[in-house]
A and B are shown apart, each in its own frame.
Chain A
Amino acid sequence: MVASQDASSAIGVGAPGRSGSQGLLRAKLLVAGLIVLALLGVFCASLLREATTTSRTAGATARRPSLTPPRPALTPAEEAYAQALWAIHGDVKSAAYKLTFSGLRYKLKQADGPEFGTGVRDASKSFGQVEARVRALAPPPSLRQVHAQYLDAVHLFQRSAAEMLKVTADGRDDHLLAAHPLSQEASETLLRVGNMIWPGEYLPN
């Protein structure tokens, strides 16, 4: 709107009887006015943006913030045990997933009874195999409790699988309800063990 008024006043610049130098002066004033307006606009927009966005530099720091005290490093014997168990851990988790999705798919009617039974039996068989592998490990004294915890978790999964399989015999879903807390506890135990010997197993996702 302001720019239009300036433009209209500039119309007079070239009107008969006015000198050319005056016209030129007004034209220059018009251009200067437009520039000031544009700068004002940019200024307002930047003010608004500043108010609503971050100044990244404020939070920027090249220094590492203080950390919680680091855990003691594992000894070579502990490290060797952690690596050996890690090689088995993937299979334990895979069997746990198989158990969970067997139940999930059955409940969601994405799998029938025979398919459910096959999945649970497969998982159960896997747990039996990994139990033998875990038992074959020789933990250092400092990790004997961790070792026992891990075996407990595998046993819980096995018990859960056995309970779930009863569904195939009598078709009653309450076996799934009875089995669930066992798998839940086993899964929590896996995390507790991981926290002891595999820090960083799960990163922020």
Chain B
Amino acid sequence: MVEGSAVVNPQRGMKVTKRARMSVLLALVMVVALSLGAPSVPAQGPVYSVWVVRNSVFKDVPAGAFMPDRAFVPGSTSPMNNQVFFQLPVNVGVIKGGKDVILYDTGWKQQDYLKMTNSVNWAPLPDLLSRLGIQAGDVTKIVIGHGHWDHAGQLSDFPNAVLYVQKAELEGIQWALTYPNPRIAAVNTSQGGCARTPACGYPPLTLQEIYGKVLGGKAVVVDGTMEIAPGVIIHPAHRAHTAGSQLLEVPTTIGKLVFGSDAYSSWEGIRDWMIANPQQTDTVQQFLAYEKCYKITGGYQNCVAAHEPLSYSDKYPLTKNFWTGPNDSRLAEVALAPGEKTRKP
């Protein structure tokens, strides 16, 4: 057709050719744009049921402390910088399939922290699980995305569960604690506080909980990648939040999910490529962890974030199918395996 036009009127035909090319280009742009939010391809092989539950909320975390690119700017009308605080949920993944009930992270247990951290809506994880028809003794495996207190805090409540922790995480803590420069090794960094030094996020109690699992023969120290159940794969994301951060790939009926703990603190951060919750974080490694989710799931929709402020709303679609639990906690049904009944009341 284009050739024909060139024959009839070469000059005009050339313009038409360019227009035709432009239209094809436009169509391609449209296809790419439309595919950006498309759900990923359903997984092959075994699929798992998945819920996400909110263990508590950290209130009034300064926006810039959570996401530096979104620091509050007085007078700004930009949605990027007009928020003073974020309300951060502490999300825990519940994965059920075959003979396994797997937790990804265990939130935090120490109720005495409630005043300390200005937290609200804390609910014991066993209580939340019971709303899903799961007893604490049913949990077979626990994968901690990292060992910080608010992600590895209730291990002893699950006596039958085998803990999966990265070797690099344990080594990283020991490295930090024994580093010769006391400013880097510090566990008390300021008057009454401890935040950014490498060993800060690991109170003695949390390490005792991890040690307890090792003592009881219920721990697997993972060195890199490991498939812990058919299709359920641990991926290392070292330094994406802490020395031994790890992701968890889970096949479901809505495609593969990737849980990221604090390597994926913010789902918006993954979507918009902004770092979040920088603690012992190498921001390049955090971006590479984001990329891992894009590669595994085909986009950002199925990346499961630990502290996404939009959780349990339509704005974070993965968690939009939610209901309220004890102490105004939240439970979201993310995906059901064939034959699995909904737990949503």
B193–A200 touching, CB < 8 Å? yes
A96–B204 touching, CB < 8 Å? yes
- The residue of chain B having its C-beta at the shortest distance from the C-beta of A199 within the complex is B116
Question: How many residues in B have their beta carbons less than 8 Å from beta carbons of A?
Answer: 90
Interface majority SS on A: helix, strand, loop or mixed?
helix
Partner-A contacts on B (CB < 8 A): 1-2, 4-5, 8-9, 12-13, 15-16, 19-20, 22-24, 26-27, 29-30, 33-34, 36-37, 58-61, 72, 79-80, 82-85, 87-88, 110, 112-118, 120, 148-151, 156, 170, 173-174, 177, 186-188, 191-195, 199-201, 203-205, 207-212, 214-216, 221, 262, 268, 271, 277, 279, 301, 307, 309-310, 315-317
Starting from the known contacts A11-B13, A42-B33, A97-B204, 18 additional A-B residue pairs (CB-CB under 8 Å) come to A7-B1, A14-B12, A34-B23, A44-B30, A48-B33, A52-B37, A53-B315, A55-B79, A56-B80, A63-B84, A82-B192, A89-B188, A93-B204, A180-B215, A198-B192, A201-B193, A201-B194, A203-B194
CA distance A113 to B177 in the complex (A): 21
A67–B12 touching, CB < 8 Å? no
Q: Which of A98-106, A129-137, A140-148 contacts B (4 or more CB under 8 A)?
A: A98-106
Q: Which A residues touch B148, using CB under 8 A?
A: 205
CA distance A45 to B87 in the complex (A): 29
B117–A202 touching, CB < 8 Å? yes
Q: Which A residues touch B156, using CB under 8 A?
A: 184
List residues 1-40 of chain A with CB under 8 A from any CB of chain B.
1, 3-4, 6-8, 10-11, 13-16, 23, 27, 30-31, 34, 37-38
Q: Which A residues touch B216, using CB under 8 A?
A: 177
Q: Which A residues touch B84, using CB under 8 A?
A: 61-64
- The residue of chain A having its C-beta at the shortest distance from the C-beta of B5 within the complex is A11
A60–B113 touching, CB < 8 Å? no
Which of B79, B116, B173 contacts A60, CB < 8 Å?
B79
B12–A54 touching, CB < 8 Å? no
Interface membership of A195, Cβ < 8 A: yes
CA distance A61 to B279 in the complex (A): 25
How does the 8 Å CB contact mask read for A65-96 relative to B, with 1 for contact and 0 for none?
10110010000000000110010011001101
**Which of B4, B22, B23 has most A Cβ within 10 Å?**
B23
CA distance A188 to B19 in the complex (A): 72
Assess A14 versus B214: contact at CB under 8 Å? Given A7-B16, A201-B116.
no
Q: Which A residues touch B307, using CB under 8 A?
A: 204
Assess A187 versus B203: contact at CB under 8 Å? Given A57-B79, A108-B214, A198-B193.
yes
CA distance A104 to B214 in the complex (A): 7
Interface membership of A124, Cβ < 8 A: no
A97–B118 touching, CB < 8 Å? no
Q: How large is the interface on A (under 10, 10 to 19, 20 to 34, 35 or more residues)?
A: 35 or more
- The residue of chain B having its C-beta at the shortest distance from the C-beta of A1 within the complex is B27
B114 to chain A, nearest CB (A): 8
- The residue of chain B having its C-beta at the shortest distance from the C-beta of A193 within the complex is B112
B118–A68 touching, CB < 8 Å? yes
CA distance A187 to B155 in the complex (A): 15
CA distance A16 to B7 in the complex (A): 11
Q: Which A residues touch B316, using CB under 8 A?
A: 54
**Which of B34, B193, B204, B301 has most A Cβ within 10 Å?**
B204
Assess A27 versus B12: contact at CB under 8 Å? Given A45-B33, A108-B214.
yes
Interface membership of A171, Cβ < 8 A: no
- The residue of chain A having its C-beta at the shortest distance from the C-beta of B114 within the complex is A195
A65–B60 touching, CB < 8 Å? yes
